[in-house]
Structure 1
Amino acid sequence: MSQAPQSWITSANGHPDFPLHNLPLGIFSHGDGTPRGGAAIGDLLLDLRAAIALGVFTGAALAAAEAASGATLNAFFALGSAARQALRAALLDLLGEHSTVQTLLASALHPQIDCQMHLPAQVGDYTDFYAGIHHATNVGKLLRPDTPLLPNYKYVPIGYHGRASTLNISGTPVHRPNGQTLPNGASEPMFGPCGRLDFELELGVWIGPGNAQGTAIAIDQAAEHIAGFCLLNDWSARDIQAWEYQPLGPFLSKSFATTLSPWVVTAEALAPFRCAQPPRPAGDPQPLGYLLAEQDQRHGALNIELQALLLTPLMREQGLAPQRLGLSNTQHMYWTVAQMVAHHSVNGCRLQPGDLLGTGTLSGPDEGESGSLLEITEGGKLPLVLANGETRLFLEDGDEVILRARCHGAGLPEIGFGECRGLVVAAQVSARRS
């Protein structure tokens, strides 16, 4: 097995998330400085604006670094894969063990622990899909035991438009939402704090170059429009959702908060972890022509291990580590990311640099692989018993949900996504007419 490339930054070598191979990009601020672009390397981050001032970038890499050094990554996303590759090649050289500018670059490095992370991009639109077939099946069984999946699921990448204004960076507290719910046995709804707050374990997809309105992105070109990936927790108010979702789907039950991990893991860093899309079960329909491309079926899936963990106030008080709730993988997606992009644009919908897609909850088929409490507790019927004796049906105030992701394989450097954290706080008091 060949050794993974090494960096002169010691903490990067063997780092579980950010070795030299990864080099994810994000927006940070340090001290009183303004938000700007940086690249993660081990426990540090490279300030791209400072590195540009040191004169270490030239040519196409310089243009890409300038686009990535602003207050958002939108301009960088718009440049496409050639710019990403140029910047990545330069960073691999500058941060690799044989770099000739080690002493010079030291002033452009900051400990990540001393930096504040911000949303990577200004998001114009956010769309959440439903590509995890095991989650769709598990939830469908709770609602329709005889027909868990509706007939359109295996033909259409199902999605809904979320709320870009309530996308939050990891670490932002999540207020329990207020809304209407219909208690069991009641004939009229009541108003108050959500009682069945849940998390959803998802992958986020950042859009690179977009398309003109009225044109479609072809399935065999869709990969060129995908800039990178992050972790995404699409918080869900299950009791509000149950009352509001018919006939138009989620609204206030989803729009109150969505949490993102801060680092954008580029498509290039994930290239070694691409794999074939799992074959569809016998009897399932073949995707329609605009959703089917041989190259995408052979290399369009990703092998990313996903996990969701819970840290309760009592666990925190007892000094216990977070407890894992579910371990899954992106290979459980029924639709590839390229298929989602192609479908999203097939009606002429305009996608723009910095738009965000969510995959939908990515659960696995077996016990211990669920990506939501709705599945783990079978709709709130079976309490989850934690290792310290606590029980949960849904999330309580003070609970913190942590999402993590890891890519690993034989002969490949292991990389991660960092963490996606959200702490549940009490609902805010709502003004109500008497």
Structure 2
Amino acid sequence: MDELIIIGKKAKLASAQLAHLNSDLKNRVLLRVADLLEEDAGVLLKANVADLEQANKMDLKGAMVERLTLSDEKIAGIAEGLREIAKLDDPIGEIEEMKKRPNGLLIGKKRVPLGVVGVIYESRPNVTADVAGLCIKTGNVCILRGGKEAFHSNRAIVKIFHKAIEENGLDPNMVQLVQDTTRESAVAMMKLNDYLDILIPRGGAGLIKTVVENSTVPVIETGVGNCHIYVDEAADLEKAVSIVFNAKTQRPGVCNAAESLLVHKDVAKAVLPSIGASLAKGGVEIRGDKITCALIPRAVPAREEDWGTEYLDLIISSKVVGSLEEAVDHINTYGSMHSECIVTENYSHAQYFLDRVDAAAVYVNASTRFTDGFEFGYGAEIGISTQKLHARGPMGLRELTTNKYVIYGSGQIR
């Protein structure tokens, strides 16, 4: 596709400049973008209204609309995230593991940008700002291919980045938005090996699966979030009720929301009615096994597919298990290796759960909703990786870098 070839060539040229900018200049750009986002909030909200009108015509519902919608509060949050990124230490140029060999060579690792980062994503204008901000800080050029449902919002945000970049005398092509939002442009981007160093999909299971299966560009998979809360036999039950309610209802349409509840049989009678009453206040539908349905009369019977479903809605599956080991086996069978939590006051049970559960983030007595770049102190995130190669969990600055070996000699030959 001609548009992507042109974008790719511009990205490579911009990369040669951005990769070598000093931290102060990169931070000035980020801080200026943050100010402009707040100053031009009215422009962003107007663009967002156009997207919401289009979303209504497309009959988008629930989580998609919630993630698409901007507000003064959300814009302020995006701006604050960029300011936090500016405060963080710049990893680029760090020398790690410098060692002197017996022959006198000094060998170390220097942290450098990945190069050109491509991101394909859906319905989340904040991703545009988060990705561009993280990439600028780490010296990476980004090519953004957002969904058609958020096109006007994404374009408005990118224009603000361009204004801030140009005010600082830099190449605006370090942040580019693909104008074509058809499926063909996404497929073409997956084959852009000559220009992209990495491709990151952010969206629903369908999008992620398509990119992973079809991309010839190296992919970092940001995964689906089928997150579990396990209430152990040694749990503080009041704490359990609070954690389950927060993890499910605080923002149900995101990947770190809880989708499944597991409860030890010895505390099921004591805690499930309270959890059921709490979730009822939040409008949550419970799909449970036989014991859950007996203890929470309004629960509906769960089907096999419920155990592996990311609802992204006010729905949760619930199952009573006979042991900690059964809970861990269930999570490792049906989970998506995203975020998992045990509620317990037993240290050995907590350690077993931490050791045996295979996930990017494993919690003891805390909501899964904390799996987030901002909450982890990264300012923002480019995504939450559920794979094991290169990066795992919330991807902040260091995850957008690689290393090259630097070797200092004094005339050594082999």
Task: State whether TM-score is above 0.5.
Answer: no
TM-score calculated relative to the size of structure 2: 0.26
Higher strand share: 1
TM-score calculated relative to the size of structure 1: 0.25
